[in-house]
Amino acid sequence: MLAQLFTSFIATAAFGILFHAPKRSLLQCGFVGMLGWLVYYSTTDSMGPVTASLLATILIGIVSQGFARLYKMPVIIFSVAGMIPLVPGGMAYNAMRQFVQQHYPQALELAINTLMIAGAIAVGLVMSEVLNQIFHSIRFKPRCPRQSDSK
């Protein structure tokens, strides 16, 4: 488990470097990716890869928004780097390989699973943004001044 967490941290921070994220954000990027992978890895057996990806992406989005506020940086720096361990690139490659080898039932199954995981990642990002908007609209709701009775 520790090797999984360490590897996901390094991979996420390395993609932060590849995407030209500011150097001062690389540790936070690595932490976001590691946290997302921890949720995915610990829930994938009980809930399946699609639901695990959804939950991990929601957490990545929420933590990314917190880091963006805390470090005064765009959310996308943390969220894109944090999602890298969740992207089903190997599954997409295997789906294309099965298509090329004309194993269509296996290829279709892999392609559908890949699209479902990618959709779960997209929905997770949207849900984290919606939750953030709801939280801030409730927390920072402007108070209306009382109307004075003297007229």
Give the per-residue pLDDT at 136: 82
Give the pLDDT confidence of 8-56 residue by residue, as tens digits: 999 999 999 999 999 999 999 999 999 999 999 999 999 999 999 999 9
The angle formed by the CA atoms of residues 87, 16 and 125, to the nearest 5 degrees, is 45
Q: Please state whether the predicted TM-score (pTM) of the whole model is above 0.75.
A: yes
Residues 6+ apart with CB under 8 A from 21: 29, 77, 81
- What mean pLDDT comes out for the span 82-111? 96
The answer to whether 61 and 129 are in contact (CB under 8 A) is: yes
